[in-house]
């Protein structure tokens, strides 16, 4: 059984200020929770008897577990359609110190001002798919632990380390090549791409900020096809990220 106080606490984590206060976020559903559990021990789990019976081996170190009915789960859930298990996970804290280590064959994503949690979640899935293990996020952009982002990234948070930072300061110190996409950049398919580097993707409406753009030393462009034909003004940032990451990793094969 789940208490009213517990439900209130879970519901509060829908807001960023309470996620920061409690250093915790909510993950829901058997697939998402199942992917996170091997990497991090939850603060709390609420699940149906059926899920608990199948997954006791994943909860050996979890001290706070409630067996709940589907109706109770619906009262606590942040989703429209709850899925048999809800976990409150601790928020990990990563830094950009990894950039000072050997990075000869490392690609890093840097996100400058992404505002839509859905876009952010999709970009994390893209990073996970292409083996990019570090994502830098500018201060003030969408929160990766927003429930919509957590659900849309489909477990990528288990493997991708996200660091919020003053992006211009980090980029100003790195010795790695810094790539960015611009309408006046060079055709990505004709440019030499290094096996290491930081790939900067900008805000949905305004692109890469001026402060960060000044630190990009390799400007790229994803051309439309057929080139020169009338087309939409720009690509969705998540779609563009997928194209750019695919081209970089293709060159590594």
Express each pLDDT in 5-44 by its tens digit: 999 999 999 999 999 999 999 999 999 999 999 888 999 9
List pLDDT tens digits, range 95-135.
Answer: 888 787 655 568 999 999 999 999 999 999 999 999 999 99
Boundaries of CATH 3.40.1280.10 in the chain?
A: 97-251
> Residue 178 pairs with which residues in a beta bridge?
198
Q: Determine the distance from the C-alpha atom of residue 98 to the mean position of all C-alpha atoms in its chain, rounded to a whole number.
A: 18
Local structure of 84: helix, strand or coil: coil
pLDDT band for position 82 (50/70/90)?
confident
pLDDT of residue 251: 86
15, two tokens: 């807001």
Asked if 44 and 28 count as a contact pair (C-beta separation under 8 A), the reply is no
CA distances to 14, 174, 204 from 94, rounded to whole Å, are: 22, 17, 25
Superfamily of domain covering 4-90: Ribosomal protein L30/S12 (3.30.1330.30)
Residue 48 predicted with pLDDT over 80: yes
Topology classification of domain 97-251 = Alpha/beta knot (3.40.1280)
Give this prediction's pTM: 0.90
Is residue 182 over pLDDT 70?
yes
Per-position DSSP letters for 129-169, written without gaps between them: HTT--EEEEETTS--TTSHHHHHHTTTGGGT-EEEEE-HHH
What integer pLDDT is reported at residue 227 of this predicted model? 77
Distance separating the N- and C-terminal Cα atoms of the chain = 52
Q: What is the mean pLDDT of the chain?
A: 92
Reading the block at residue 188, the tokens are 């990505």
Under 8 Å between Cβ of 48 and 85: yes
Give the residue with greater pLDDT, 62 vs 112. Answer: 112
Summarize the confidence of residues 178-205 as an average pLDDT: 93
Residues forming CATH 3.30.1330.30 domain(s) in the chain: 4-90
pLDDT at 103: 58
The pLDDT of residue 228 is above 80: no
Q: Evaluate the omega torsion of the peptide bond into residue 226 and state whether it is cis, within 30 degrees of 0.
A: yes
Tokens of 98: 């990894």
Q: Where are the alpha helices (DSSP H) in 106-253?
A: 117-129, 147-152, 167-173, 210-213, 237-251
- pLDDT the model gives residue 135: 96
Helix intervals (H) in 84-116: none
Q: Are strands 65-67 and 161-165 parallel, antiparallel or unpaired?
A: unpaired
């Amino acid at each position: 059984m789940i208490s009213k106080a517990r439900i209130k606490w879970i519901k509060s984590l829908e807001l960023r200020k309470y996620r920061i206060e409690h250093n915790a976020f909510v993950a829901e559903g058997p697939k998402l929770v199942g992917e996170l559990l091997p990497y991090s021990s939850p603060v709390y789990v609420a699940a149906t008897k059926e899920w608990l019976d199948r997954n006791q081996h994943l909860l050996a170190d979890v001290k706070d577990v409630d067996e709940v009915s589907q109706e109770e789960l619906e009262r606590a859930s942040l989703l429209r359609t709850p899925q048999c298990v809800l976990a409150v996970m601790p928020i990990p804290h990563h830094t950009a110190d990894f950039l000072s280590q050997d990075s000869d064959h490392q690609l890093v994503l840097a996100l400058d001002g992404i505002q839509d949690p859905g876009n952010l979640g999709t970009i994390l899935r893209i990073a996970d798919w292409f083996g990019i293990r570090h994502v830098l996020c500018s201060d003030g952009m969408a929160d990766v632990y927003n429930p919509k982002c957590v659900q849309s990234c489909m477990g990528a948070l288990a493997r991708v380390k996200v660091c919020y930072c003053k992006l211009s300061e980090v980029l100003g110190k790195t010795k790695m090549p810094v790539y960015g996409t611009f309408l006046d950049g060079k055709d990505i398919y004709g440019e030499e791409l290094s096996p290491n580097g930081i790939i900067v993707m900008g805000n949905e409406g305004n692109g890469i900020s001026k402060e960060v753009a000044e630190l990009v030393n390799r400007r790229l462009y994803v051309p439309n096809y057929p080139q020169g034909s009338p087309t939409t003004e720009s690509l969705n940032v998540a779609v563009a990220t997928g194209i750019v990451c695919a081209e970089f990793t293709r060159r590594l094969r």
